[in-house]
């Protein structure tokens, strides 16, 4: 302990040490201070409280009635502080507390079931999620983790971790293909109904396809235009037509037989997926657990 003991909490700690040892000398030894400083700290506390806490004799130091009352309260307070310190230390090493996550709408619905496993692994973790396709502000809006697809703005206040790469492919439902016929080539797309995504800029997103050794864009007259990524998938599953979506989003529907992957050779590289984390001190264990879970889950969906 520092030789200067003038903070009220420090004075309380000195008082408790004297009460527990029954001696100013032994309390000073335990605290690494001097008998004089210990005596002054107790005196300051008594002056602040306006009462005597100890009866002092040449042979012993005993608590007064007021001292006994104050000791009980002081021990409760110090015990509470020690418990809080232990909890804070645990938070640094164990994922504990709330993590706010902002996810793209379609990706969020894809990943949502996997968070059950995360909760089972870390039962002291609480998750708060938003599913939105807009570019959220991690710092200004208080998000711990923002997951976004595509090119990210440069920002020195943010740290970014790449979670995975994506592929873009063409998909349609079995019912639609049964009604309209199979798609055997890129040229045949012009005879089919297209479901097209309208991006945040307001522009329709053309399909990017691999045509032999070249990558080119295919612009079709859509029968349905949607600005929601999940709605794009649901429209394809419902049989509206063919759409181009991300492989990780489409995979569960392909495995369940609700979508069919068309012309796999026409797939192209899609945008990367990043986790955006606000900079600060060392990343909290709870945030790291969520980011690691996202990366592991997205890796598994590709296998």
> pLDDT by residue (tens digit) across 287-300?
889 999 999 888 77
Q: Where are the alpha helices (DSSP H) in the chain?
A: 8-21, 24-31, 35-49, 65-93, 105-111, 115-121, 174-180, 229-238, 247-255, 285-301
Judging by beta carbons within 10 Å of its beta carbon (0-12, 13-18, 19+), is residue 36 exposed, middle or buried?
Answer: exposed
Q: C-alpha angle 226/231/234, rounded to 5°?
A: 130
Pairing between β-strand 158-172 and β-strand 260-262 as defined by DSSP bridges:
antiparallel
Residue 26 lies in a domain: yes
Is residue 168 within 8 A of residue 272, CB to CB? The reply is no
Domain boundary among 41, 58, 93: 93
Range of the domain at 50: 8-93
Higher pLDDT, 151 or 9: 9
Residues 40 and 158 in one domain: no
Tokens 């590709």 belong to residue? 302
Q: What is the mean pLDDT of residues 60-89?
A: 83
Domain boundary among 76, 93, 110: 93
Q: How many domains does the chain have?
A: 3
Residue 277 lies in a domain: yes
Q: Which two tokens stand for residue 34?
A: 């001097």
Residue 228 lies in a domain: yes
Q: Which two tokens stand for residue 15?
A: 């008082």
Residues 277 and 263 in one domain: no
Pairing between β-strand 222-226 and β-strand 194-197 as defined by DSSP bridges:
parallel
pLDDT of residue 54: 92
Average pLDDT, the chain: 85
Residue 2 lies in a domain: no
pLDDT of residue 120: 92
Q: Which two tokens stand for residue 14?
A: 């000195």
Q: Is the pLDDT of residue 31 over 50?
A: yes
Residue 86 confidence class, pLDDT cut points 50, 70, 90: low
Residue 155 confidence class, pLDDT cut points 50, 70, 90: low
Residue 224 lies in a domain: yes
Q: Is the pLDDT of residue 3 over 50?
A: no
Is residue 80 within 8 A of residue 21, CB to CB? The reply is no
């Amino acid at each position: 302990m520092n030789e200067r003991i003038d903070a009220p909490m420090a004075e309380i700690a000195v008082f408790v040490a004297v009460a527990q040892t029954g001696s100013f000398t032994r309390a000073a030894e335990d605290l690494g201070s001097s008998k004089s400083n210990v005596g002054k700290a107790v005196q300051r506390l008594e002056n602040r409280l306006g009462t005597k806490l100890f009866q002092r004799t040449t042979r012993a130091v005993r608590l007064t009635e007021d001292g006994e009352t104050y000791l009980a309260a002081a021990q409760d307070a110090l015990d509470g502080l020690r418990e809080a310190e232990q909890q804070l230390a645990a938070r640094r090493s164990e994922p504990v507390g709330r993590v706010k996550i902002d996810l793209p709408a379609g990706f969020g619905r894809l990943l949502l079931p996997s968070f059950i496993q995360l909760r089972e692994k870390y039962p002291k973790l609480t998750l708060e999620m938003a599913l939105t396709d807009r570019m959220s502000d991690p710092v200004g809006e208080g998000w711990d983790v923002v997951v976004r697809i595509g090119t990210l703005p440069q920002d020195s206040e943010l740290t970014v971790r790449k979670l995975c790469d994506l592929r873009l492919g063409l998909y349609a439902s079995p019912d639609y293909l049964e009604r309209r016929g199979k798609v055997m080539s890129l040229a045949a797309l012009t005879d089919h109904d297209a479901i097209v995504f309208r991006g945040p800029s307001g522009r329709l997103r053309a399909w990017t396809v691999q045509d032999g050794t070249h990558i080119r864009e295919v612009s079709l007259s859509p029968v349905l235009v949607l600005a929601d990524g999940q709605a794009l998938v649901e429209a394809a599953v419902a049989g509206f037509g063919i759409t181009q979506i991300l492989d990780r989003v489409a995979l569960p529907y392909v495995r369940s037989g609700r979508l069919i992957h068309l012309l796999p050779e026409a797939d192209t590289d899609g945008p990367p997926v990043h986790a955006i984390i606000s900079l600060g001190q060392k990343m909290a264990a709870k945030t790291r657990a969520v980011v690691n879970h996202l990366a592991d889950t997205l890796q598994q969906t590709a296998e």
